[in-house]
């Protein structure tokens, strides 16, 4: 094994991310992908129901309440669910860039157990951009935003066009989402550069 994978670290020629002028204002909720999204959608009974709010820069905060359906070991959050919560918060950062992007790589470190019933307070930020690559980092804390770090992640996102989902998603879900004119307009608006 290599000592450390640098795939989630920005290259030396990366630039600072710039918050889009049409991004949600600081403190405002960051939108949901759609109702059936496992991470942020309200239509998934066992989903994460992650609620994110825009920060001042290209950053956000989010909260995730660990429910019994999210456990792995008895009484503790499943590690994959914790990774999904961080991935969801990291992916929500793209709302602040008004960019459509998908996870290319996610490296997660687990530092302490997360009990069922606890709230994971997540802080995420974009650290840099290089072409279509977006680099970001997040950490989840217990017992409040300043509590002990339980899990953290570094991620690489790749900018894509909405056609990525249209061409690769299950057609009945794609049609249902794209039949909503507000969703279609919003998705296409993200493809236009400021």
Of 105, 82, 107, nearest to 157 (Cα)? 105
Interval 136-160: pLDDT, tens: 999 999 999 999 999 999 999 999 8
In DSSP notation, 114-128 reads: -BTT-EEEEEEEEEE
- Report pLDDT for 47: 78
- In order along its 194 residues, the chain shows pLDDT tens digits of 344 567 888 988 999 999 999 999 999 998 776 666 666 667 778 778 788 999 999 999 999 999 999 999 999 999 999 999 999 999 999 989 998 899 999 999 999 999 999 999 999 999 999 999 999 999 999 999 999 999 999 999 999 876 555 565 566 666 666 666 555 555 545 454 44
pLDDT at 43: 72
pLDDT score recorded for residue 186 = 52
Residue 175: the pLDDT is 62
pLDDT of residue 2: 41
Q: Which residue has the tokens 């056609």?
A: 163
Q: Can you give the pLDDT at residue 48? A: 80
Nearest to 91 by CA among 48, 45, 146: 48
Which of 54, 70, 59 is CA-nearest to residue 120?
70
Burial per residue of 159-174, b for 16 or more beta-carbon CB atoms within 10 angstroms, e otherwise: beebeebeeeeeeeee
Q: How far apart are CA 126 and CA 36, in angstroms?
A: 25
């Amino acid at each position: 094994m290599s000592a450390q994978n640098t795939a989630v670290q920005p290259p030396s020629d990366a630039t600072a991310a710039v918050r889009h002028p049409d991004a949600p204002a600081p403190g405002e909720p960051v939108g949901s992908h759609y109702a059936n999204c496992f991470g942020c959608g309200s239509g998934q009974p066992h989903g994460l129901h992650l609620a994110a709010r825009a920060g001042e820069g290209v950053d956000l905060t989010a909260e995730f309440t660990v429910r019994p359906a999210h456990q792995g070991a008895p009484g503790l959050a499943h590690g994959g669910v914790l990774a999904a919560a961080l991935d969801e918060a990291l992916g929500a950062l793209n709302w602040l860039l008004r960019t459509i992007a998908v996870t290319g790589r996610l490296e997660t470190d687990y530092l302490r157990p997360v009990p069922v019933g606890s709230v994971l307070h997540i802080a995420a930020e974009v650290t840099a951009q290089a072409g279509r690559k977006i680099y970001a980092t997040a950490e989840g804390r217990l017992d409040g935003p300043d509590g002990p770090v339980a899990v953290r992640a570094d991620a690489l996102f790749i900018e894509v066009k909405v056609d990525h989902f249209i061409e690769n998603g299950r057609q009945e879900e794609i049609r249902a989402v794209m039949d909503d004119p507000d969703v279609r307009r919003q998705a296409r608006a993200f493809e236009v550069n400021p």
